[in-house]
Amino acid sequence: MVKIYALCVHLIYSGIVQRSREELKAIRETNPGLKPTLAIIQVIEEILRLNEDSRVHGIFLHLPQSFLSKSVRNAIKPQKDVKVMVKVTLVRGNLNIQNFLSCNSSLDAPLVGKMAVLLGLEGPLKVTLQFLLQNNGMMVQTRQWSSKHFHFEVFTKMFVAAVVICQHVVRSSRRWIQEQQYQPWRLRPLKLQPLSPVPSDIEISRAQTPKPISQLAQEIGLLPEELEAYGNTKAKVHLSLLNRLQHQPNGKYVLVAGITPTPLGEGKSTVTIGLVQALSAHLKLNSFACLRQPSQGPTFGVKGGAAGGGYAQVIPMEEFNLHLTGDIHAITAANNLVAAAIDARILHEATQSDRALYSRLVPSVNGVRCFSPIQMARLQRLGINKSDPSDLTPEEIRAFVRLDLDPEKVTWQRVVDTNDRFLRKITVGQANTEKGHARQTQFDIAVASEIMAILALTDGLGDMRARLGRMVVGSSRNGQPITADDLGVTGALAVLMKDAIKPTLMQTLEGTPVFVHAGPFANIAHGNSSVLADKLALKLVGEEGYVVTEAGFGADIGMEKFFNIKCRTSGLTPDVVVLVATVRALKMHGGGPNVTAGVPLPKEYINENLQLVADGCSNLKKQIQITHLFGVPVIVALNVFKTDTQAEIDMVCRIAEASGASAAVQCHHWSRGGRGSVELAHAVKKVASQKNHFQFLYNLQDSIVEKIRTIAQKVYGADDIELSPEAQAKIDYYNQQGFSALPICMAKTHLSLSHMPEKKGVPTGFILPIRDIRASIGAGFIYPLVGTMSTMPGLPTRPCFYDIDLDPVTEEIKGLF
Amino acid sequence: MVKIYALCVHLIYSGIVQRSREELKAIRETNPGLKPTLAIIQVIEEILRLNEDSRVHGIFLHLPQSFLSKSVRNAIKPQKDVKVMVKVTLVRGNLNIQNFLSCNSSLDAPLVGKMAVLLGLEGPLKVTLQFLLQNNGMMVQTRQWSSKHFHFEVFTKMFVAAVVICQHVVRSSRRWIQEQQYQPWRLRPLKLQPLSPVPSDIEISRAQTPKPISQLAQEIGLLPEELEAYGNTKAKVHLSLLNRLQHQPNGKYVLVAGITPTPLGEGKSTVTIGLVQALSAHLKLNSFACLRQPSQGPTFGVKGGAAGGGYAQVIPMEEFNLHLTGDIHAITAANNLVAAAIDARILHEATQSDRALYSRLVPSVNGVRCFSPIQMARLQRLGINKSDPSDLTPEEIRAFVRLDLDPEKVTWQRVVDTNDRFLRKITVGQANTEKGHARQTQFDIAVASEIMAILALTDGLGDMRARLGRMVVGSSRNGQPITADDLGVTGALAVLMKDAIKPTLMQTLEGTPVFVHAGPFANIAHGNSSVLADKLALKLVGEEGYVVTEAGFGADIGMEKFFNIKCRTSGLTPDVVVLVATVRALKMHGGGPNVTAGVPLPKEYINENLQLVADGCSNLKKQIQITHLFGVPVIVALNVFKTDTQAEIDMVCRIAEASGASAAVQCHHWSRGGRGSVELAHAVKKVASQKNHFQFLYNLQDSIVEKIRTIAQKVYGADDIELSPEAQAKIDYYNQQGFSALPICMAKTHLSLSHMPEKKGVPTGFILPIRDIRASIGAGFIYPLVGTMSTMPGLPTRPCFYDIDLDPVTEEIKGLF
Query: What average pLDDT does range A5-15 have in this prediction?
Result: 32
- Residue-level pLDDT at B598: 72
Q: Is the distance from CB of A350 to CB of A424 less than 8 angstroms? A: no
Query: What average pLDDT does range B359-367 have in this prediction?
Result: 90
Q: Is there a contact between B420 and A49 if contact means CB atoms under 8 Å apart?
A: no
Q: Is there a contact between A341 and B375 if contact means CB atoms under 8 Å apart?
A: no
- Residue-level pLDDT at A315: 94
Smallest Cβ distance to A491: which of B414, B424, B804?
B804
Q: Report the gap between the CA of B264 and the closest CA in chain A (Å).
A: 17
B49 touches A at CB < 8 Å: yes
Q: Report the gap between the CA of B805 and the closest CA in chain A (Å).
A: 4
Q: Report the gap between the CA of A804 and the closest CA in chain B (Å).
A: 5
Most confident of A488-502, B149-163, B795-809: A488-502
- Residue-level pLDDT at B116: 41
B-proximal residues of A, 236-255, CB under 8 Å: 236
Q: Is there a contact between A375 and B489 if contact means CB atoms under 8 Å apart?
A: no
- Residue-level pLDDT at B788: 82
Query: How many CB atoms are located within 10 Å of the residue B339 CB?
Result: 23
Smallest Cβ distance to A418: which of B210, B340, B431?
B340
User: Residue B811: its chain A contacts at CB < 8 A?
Assistant: 461, 498
| % of chain A beyond a pLDDT of 90 | 67
Q: What is the pLDDT of residues B541-597, one digit of tens each?
A: 999 999 999 998 899 999 999 999 999 999 999 999 999 999 999 999 999 999 887
Give the end-to-end CA distance of chain A in Å, rounded to a whole number.
Answer: 48
Best A228, A417, A806, A816 member to test B by mutation, with max B CBs in 10 Å, is A806
Which amino acid is present at A685?
K
Model's pTM, two decimal places? Answer: 0.82
How many angstroms separate the CA atoms of B241 and B227, rounded?
A: 10
Smallest Cβ distance to B418: which of A230, A337, A433?
A337
A-proximal residues of B, 159-218, CB under 8 Å: 188, 190-191, 209-212, 215
Q: Is the distance from CB of B129 to CB of B86 less than 8 angstroms? A: yes
Q: Is A74 exposed, middle or buried (0-12, 13-18, 19+ CB in 10 A)?
A: exposed
Report whether pLDDT(B680) > 70. Answer: yes
Report whether pLDDT(A374) > 90. Answer: yes
- Residue-level pLDDT at B25: 54
Q: What is the pLDDT of residues B385-401, one digit of tens each?
A: 999 999 999 999 999 99
Q: Report the gap between the CA of B717 and the closest CA in chain A (Å).
A: 32
Cis peptide leading into B316, omega within 30 of 0? yes
CB-based contacts of B243: which residues, under 8 Å, 6+ apart?
none
Inter-CA distances, A8 with A133, B498, B511, Å: 9, 45, 22
User: Residue A375: its chain B contacts at CB < 8 A?
Assistant: 802
Q: Is there a contact between A344 and B795 if contact means CB atoms under 8 Å apart?
A: yes
- Residue-level pLDDT at B596: 85
- Residue-level pLDDT at B45: 66
| Residue in A closest to B42 by C-alpha | A188
Q: Is the distance from CB of B326 to CB of B517 less than 8 angstroms? A: no
B425 touches A at CB < 8 Å: yes
Smallest Cβ distance to A188: which of B45, B347, B809?
B45
| % of chain B beyond a pLDDT of 90 | 67
- Residue-level pLDDT at B202: 86
A805 touches B at CB < 8 Å: yes
Sign, CA dihedral B786-B788-B790-B795, equals negative
Q: Report the gap between the CA of A345 and the closest CA in chain B (Å).
A: 7
- Residue-level pLDDT at B307: 83
Best A14, A227, A400, A422 member to test B by mutation, with max B CBs in 10 Å, is A422
Binned at pLDDT 50, 70 and 90, residue A74 comes out as: low
- Residue-level pLDDT at A431: 95
Report whether pLDDT(A226) > 60. Answer: yes
B53 touches A at CB < 8 Å: yes
Smallest Cβ distance to B805: which of A323, A491, A796?
A491
Best B14, B337, B375 member to test A by mutation, with max A CBs in 10 Å, is B337
User: Residue A803: its chain B contacts at CB < 8 A?
Assistant: 372, 491
Q: Is there a contact between A52 and B424 if contact means CB atoms under 8 Å apart?
A: no
- Residue-level pLDDT at A381: 94
Binned at pLDDT 50, 70 and 90, residue A53 comes out as: low
- Residue-level pLDDT at A524: 86
- Hey, which residues of A are catalytic here? 268, 270, 292, 303, 522, 553, 641, 670
- Residue-level pLDDT at B600: 83
Best B50, B402, B444, B802 member to test A by mutation, with max A CBs in 10 Å, is B802
Q: What is the pLDDT of residues A381-435, one digit of tens each?
A: 999 999 999 999 999 999 999 999 999 999 999 999 999 999 999 999 999 999 9
Report whether pLDDT(A436) > 90. Answer: yes
- Residue-level pLDDT at B225: 87
Q: What angle do CA A75, A78, A84 make, to 5 degrees?
A: 95
Which amino acid is present at B669?
H
CA dihedral A207, A210, A211, A214 (to 10 degrees): -160
Q: Is the distance from CB of B131 to CB of B60 less than 8 angstroms? A: yes
- Residue-level pLDDT at A119: 45
Binned at pLDDT 50, 70 and 90, residue B304 comes out as: low
Q: Is there a contact between B433 and A794 if contact means CB atoms under 8 Å apart?
A: yes
Query: What average pLDDT does range A163-190 have in this prediction?
Result: 64
User: Residue B333: its chain A contacts at CB < 8 A?
Assistant: 296, 323, 329, 417-418
Smallest Cβ distance to B232: which of A228, A426, A491?
A228
User: Residue A794: its chain B contacts at CB < 8 A?
Assistant: 344, 433
Q: Report the gap between the CA of A272 and the closest CA in chain B (Å).
A: 25
Closest Cα partner for B345 from B252, B434, B213?
A: B434
- Hey, which residues of B are catalytic here? 268, 270, 292, 303, 522, 553, 641, 670
Q: What is the pLDDT of residues A526-573, one digit of tens each?
A: 999 999 999 999 999 999 999 999 998 899 999 999 999 999 999 999
Best A72, A238, A337 member to test B by mutation, with max B CBs in 10 Å, is A337
Give the least confident one: A86-95, A106-115, B151-160.
A106-115
Binned at pLDDT 50, 70 and 90, residue B790 comes out as: confident
Q: What is the pLDDT of residues A331-355, one digit of tens each?
A: 999 999 999 999 999 999 999 999 9
A-proximal residues of B, 479-518, CB under 8 Å: 488-492, 494-496, 498-499
Average pLDDT, chain A: 84
| Residue in A closest to B434 by C-alpha | A422
With H, G, I as helix, E, B as strand and everything else as coil, classify residue B179. helix
Query: What average pLDDT does range B154-172 have in this prediction?
Result: 44
Q: Is there a contact between B426 and A421 if contact means CB atoms under 8 Å apart?
A: no
Q: Report the gap between the CA of B629 and the closest CA in chain A (Å).
A: 38
Q: Is there a contact between B808 and A494 if contact means CB atoms under 8 Å apart?
A: yes
Query: What average pLDDT does range B352-375 have in this prediction?
Result: 93
A802 touches B at CB < 8 Å: yes
- Residue-level pLDDT at A234: 96
How many angstroms separate the CA atoms of B751 and B637, rounded?
A: 19
Query: What average pLDDT does range B662-676 have in this prediction?
Result: 97
Q: Is there a contact between A232 and B228 if contact means CB atoms under 8 Å apart?
A: yes
How many angstroms separate the CA atoms of B26 and B31, rounded?
A: 8
Give the least confident one: A737-741, A762-766, B57-61, B766-770.
B57-61
Q: Is there a contact between A420 and B339 if contact means CB atoms under 8 Å apart?
A: yes
Contacts 24+ apart (CB under 8 A), A723-726: A723/A770, A724/A769, A724/A770, A724/A771, A724/A772, A726/A771, A726/A772, A726/A773
DSSP string, B397-424: HHHHH---EEEEEE---EEESS--GGGS
- Residue-level pLDDT at B552: 85
Query: What average pLDDT does range A434-449 have in this prediction?
Result: 95
- Residue-level pLDDT at B160: 43
B-proximal residues of A, 608-637, CB under 8 Å: none
Q: Which strand (E) or helix (H) includes residue B109?
A: helix B109-120
Report whether pLDDT(A309) > 80. Answer: yes
User: Residue A357: its chain B contacts at CB < 8 A?
Assistant: 797
Please, where are the H alpha helices in A86-151? 109-120
Binned at pLDDT 50, 70 and 90, residue B178 comes out as: low
Q: Report the gap between the CA of B301 and the closest CA in chain A (Å).
A: 10
CB-based contacts of A383: which residues, under 8 Å, 6+ apart?
none
Q: What is the pLDDT of residues A574-630, one digit of tens each?
A: 999 999 999 999 999 999 999 887 778 899 999 999 999 999 999 999 999 999 999
